[in-house]
Copies of this chain bind each other. A is one copy, B any other.
Amino acid sequence: MNDLPSEAPEPVVARRERDRRIREEDFLAAAERLFGERGFQDASMEEIAREAGYATGTIYRYFESKQALFGELLHRRLAEYFGVVEAAVDGEAAPREKLRALIRAKVRFFVMNQAFLRLYIGATDAMAGMPGACPGPQSEVRQKFLGLQRKVLEEAAAAGLFSPERQGWVGAAIIGLTNNVLLAALTDASWVEEQELVDFFIRTMENGLWKAS
């Protein structure tokens, strides 16, 4: 009845809510690892639950189905990714700098979220649905992300950085290039100097792969 200001208002409910979020993240982390390693089909719900440290049924108190778990995972990581990239791009005014910032943010994000890289590639390849891609809540975030990227490219094109025809190819080129090199670099050696990768991408985009002569 009396709520001393120093006390927690509803400690039980608050704790439960917090625990719930923690467990959700436990499951998402386990799912990220196993989906990344084995793919969607070959990772079983039982494995994921056990990897997270719970019994099989528990996972269904947090996610309606395997699809929903996968979707939520993509949604969260993509939203995080989108936020990071958007912030980086917004910090720059010039189109060229925006593009560079986008690359820098991408490299930094995936160096810190290596487990997510495979899932991201599977879900984004060629900006198109690979078989197995499932519709769901992540679609919205994905659309937002693709929209952001398109905008950056359009601005760059409008600024005369590259020719506006075949803009789709330019987008696909940047994504394919960065995805695949990141995957190779992070698979070979789990530690890579971020700056080096960023420089490689920027240089390639600006001058091509040929050695500057």
Chain A positions near chain B (C-beta within 8 angstroms): 36-39, 41-42, 118, 121-122, 125-128, 130-132, 160-163, 166, 168-181, 183-185, 187-188, 196, 200, 203-211
Contact = CB atoms under 8 A, between A and B. Distances in A.
B208 A208 contact: yes
B132 A166 contact: no
A131 B38 contact: yes
Number of copies: 4
Given A125-B180, A179-B180, A173 B130 contact: no
Contacts of A185: 168-169, 172
Given A168-B185, A173-B181, A176-B177, 20 more contacts: A37-B131, A39-B131, A41-B41, A41-B132, A125-B180, A127-B184, A128-B184, A162-B209, A162-B210, A168-B188, A169-B200, A170-B209, A171-B184, A172-B184, A173-B204, A180-B180, A205-B209, A205-B210, A206-B208, A207-B207
A96 to B, nearest CB: 9
Given A184-B168, A205-B208, A118 B130 contact: yes
A20 B187 CA distance: 41
Contacts of A180: 125-126, 172-173, 175-177, 179-180
A156 to B, nearest CB: 9
Contact of A126 (B130, B187, B204): B187
A75 B204 CA distance: 32
